[in-house]
Structure 1
């Protein structure tokens, strides 16, 4: 072993010894589904009711530039667990299930091996290749996850049935299960890692009547300035081939009803978060439990005339991210970070909290340094991908806190390959494509894009349908040369346990 390697090992063992001696912190990861970034009161939304998340933000660090590198449920969830981009873990609708060896490197599995008492409740959202869903029971000390989308009706979720009478809506039932898990974990004397994966606010929409009633007084909800089909006409023709442009039209035809139900579902998540935070205090664990809250995707909510997610625009790809570490001095509380973060950073952050090393094989970065220095950064740029759905809507993008570059490759149906560039500082709603106006910024972003394209080419997983994308996403290769390489990826052939 080389001297440098010996030093690294010694430093890690010293770090782990110090953490163990000081009592390793508990970790709670709270994960909503399809929640766009501006749907927490602390983010400036004056209509949504999220008092518990607001308190969490006021005590922790709130991140304003958090992106999901693939904005679709299955792929994003695996990126969160493994810290890998989709093209490296290979898990998405139409592409394939997750390899067991990659899941064994995920934060829940490794923390359990390191002595953490681990629990999971809610929507799992993916399958392990060649493995029955029930085998997830062996990967956690307590497991109440469900296959596919799960159900908003508690009684229809096998492992939550006992909560159905008191909590008929599954969101609060997730909170009740979590309360019991925390109490059980306390008895073991071990630190715990709890992952709570809410179905809400994912469709089909079915909010708890308790929460829907809270919005009765609001008849007309505020719309973003980029709401409506007319505010998407300047965007690429390829984006309009996406499911986001052609389905879920109720967001356009009945916005008030749609946003009311969407907000109510998020308010239900907030109530469950409150149940969990209250239990921490009751058990005397609130001073040594780090809480992370985010979502697997954003949601377009009618912005640019789009619904759903998938697209690389702000509303569909960004989600709230809040991290609260009660061990930090008060001077670090209530801070805002504009640093560029991604779903791939969650696993690295959890490993760092636990004292386990962050693998160099991971794409993600630990965000722990940002809790003390929120004005610092962990990266310059971040890639965004869509490898799913109709081939015309496949895209690759790179984003910085100031700029976003999107490349649409398809030349089908008389379309032309298209570049988009947005100045996010001056134009946060992406109302003007400046690719033909700001050559200096365009070249800068294209250089970042080229670096990520090279990584895609060198590191993609084999056998899951990503092999042609380095060519497909190369702006320097003509459509004629890559026309025969493109294909659509659909979830229709997947089992019912992997619905989107």
Structure 2
């Protein structure tokens, strides 16, 4: 053996010595060697709030100061078309945690807690059961009382929306210093890495509140003053598609809603626009700085080479485009987010054009951990893009939706393919938009009324209907046996184990209006009540001998809406 080592190549010598040392430590069995070669990676999942897809230097944005994110992207897989299937933080985060479309989990701001049936398969719970040490710092974003069942350690916090000044972001302390929330989250991550047990892998979810605006303040954006130099001598150019003509193309329900209101908060004057956009990018620079510190801590602990980093935004954002602000809508600004998957064990960089989704992240994390994803999840693992060059997700059409039942933000639903997008507004399905993303990436030319594109619009409309059925909530609460007699509505409920907390009735002058959810004769809006019998019609005066159409939906004990009942008709 000694003679062979002396004449062997130096690399072979090192391998033999390592193998001999292994045998001394563990005996002749090859099992320990297999365990070493298959050591599970640590995973850090970084989720930012309102970071749109192009708010990163790597995407070619000269306004973004993100050297650390850029460096990650250059060594990682960068997904150029990542879609938040629901462009709002609450529902998007619920989808990421549960692996489900909003259509299924039906969770948003005004609902009760996330249903336990869906949280049983929450990705951190599965990882924890599989032996991972799990942690969360920052904005969980979903109402749920049992975080300890998901994480070994956690601290759930967000910017303070009840504050009307800088203390919305400055209220956490490190030692004696009150620091920006981004700095606090970064330090909690470093502390987690230092203290994580060495005998098991970890998965850390960092949910930064930045660059979300402080909605209830005059300034809107607050950042650490150390980033004042960023864009200091730069004049931010006007946003794309921000002319009066672009604004006037919007449906009236969008013009009357929060998208326009928040534009007045942030962008309606040149001074506000410059302040807000610079503030937005300075807050992202703060996150980038914390990522740099976290990576240095990984190096110092000697685990950087076995720690996967995934970075994604929870939804997109309007920065003055169409003279609106916020997110929520189905336009690219709102639904597209950045996604970086960095695996230091495989530095095969590539840019991916194929659509990736927020609901793919939990399946991807489990795949890296070597854990089987639940069959009920809707996303697909993106790990194959890291491992190989030839990947086909067999994903042609995706469902995009924002279903929050809130009068100040028009709910909408649609589908997107590689080249096309179709969407409509839930409360008036006759308002439709169709865009050729390949030829019109900024979505300026609505083709829905173009006769040459009727085949495309019909195909996508039918696909939307099919996906709505495919992803419906199996626990949804619906009215059955709905009747209208002697000017009164009555119904029963589909599941007597659930409690009805409200209802909405639509009465329409035509079947077309009823199909489109237009209650032009009577729209009761939401009525908070558990009553199911003898609900009086109080809409517009009914004409004699005229036929009308009606349907309704109910709210469950979590304030979640079910589907509308099938349209019915009566003649007055």
TM-score (norm 2): 0.73
In structure 2, stretches of 5+ residues that fail to align are 1-32, 215-220, 478-497, 529-572
Q: Which residue number in structure 2 is paired with residue 216 of structure 1?
A: 232
Report what 1:308 is aligned to: 326
1:145 matched residue in structure 2:
156
Larger Rg: 2
CA–CA distance in 2 between the matches of 1:346 and 1:377? Answer: 14
Deviations along 1:323-354, one digit per CA (max 9) or x if unpaired, are 111122x4x21x11111121111111111111
Distance (whole Å) between structure 2 residues aligned to residue 374 and residue 244 of structure 1: 41
Q: Does 1:357 align with 2:345?
A: no
1:17-32 equivalent positions in 2, closer than 5 A: 22-32=38-48
Q: Tell me how far apart the structure 1 counterparts of residues 524 and 336 of structure 2 sit (CA, whole Å).
A: 27
Task: Determine the C-alpha separation between the residues in 2 that align with 1:475 and 1:375.
Answer: 44
Aligned residue among 255, 268, 273 for 1:240? 255
The one of 14, 25, 35 equivalent to 2:51 is: 35
TM-score normalised over the length of structure 1: 0.83
User: Greater strand percent: which structure?
Assistant: 2
Q: Tell me what 1:50 maps to.
A: 66
Give matches, 1:176-187, under 5 Å: 176-185=187-196, 187=197
1:422 aligns with 2:435: yes
Alignment of 1:268-287 (within 5 A): 268-287=286-305
Among 413, 417, 437, the residue aligned to 1:396 = 413
**Higher normalized helix content (fraction of residues):** 1
**Residues 420, 386 of structure 1: alpha-carbon distance in 2 compared, 3 angstrom cutoff:** same
- CA RMSD for the aligned pairs? 3.1
Tell me how far 1:458 sits from its aligned partner. 6.2
Match of 2:310 among 292, 303, 307: 292
Query: Are the structure 2 counterparts of residues 281 and 190 from structure 1 closer, same or farther at C-alpha, using a change threshold of 3 Å?
Result: same
Counting matched residue pairs gives 454
Contact residue 125 and residue 149 of structure 2 kept, 8 A: no
Q: Given the superposition, is the C-alpha separation of residues 406 and 188 from structure 1 closer, same or farther in structure 2, using an over 3 Å criterion?
A: same
Contact preservation (8 Å) 2:435, 2:446: yes
SS of alignment partner, residue 156 of structure 1: strand
1:24-423 counterparts in 2 under 5 A? Answer: 24-128=40-144, 131=145, 135-137=146-148, 139-146=150-157, 156-157=171-172, 161-162=173-174, 165=177, 168-185=179-196, 187-204=197-214, 205-218=221-234, 220-249=235-264, 250-253=266-269, 254-328=272-346, 330=347, 332-333=348-349, 335-371=350-386, 372-373=388-389, 376-388=392-404, 389-390=406-407, 393-411=410-428, 417-423=430-436
The equivalent residue for 1:9 is none
Q: 18-27 or 241-250: which moved more?
A: 18-27
Tell me how far apart the structure 2 counterparts of residues 481 and 19 of structure 1 sit (CA, whole Å). 64
CA distance in structure 2 between the aligned counterparts of 1:172 and 1:359, rounded to whole angstroms: 35
After TM superposition, give the deviation of residue 460 of structure 1 in Å: 6.0
Give distance in 2, aligned partners of 1:465 and 1:89: 18
How far 1:240 sits from its partner (Å)?
Answer: 2.4
- Greater length-normalized contact order (CA 8 Å, ≥ 6 residues apart): 1
1:374, 1:30 → 2: CA distance? Answer: 27
Unaligned runs of 5+ in 1: 1-16, 491-500
The equivalent of 1:498 in structure 2 is none
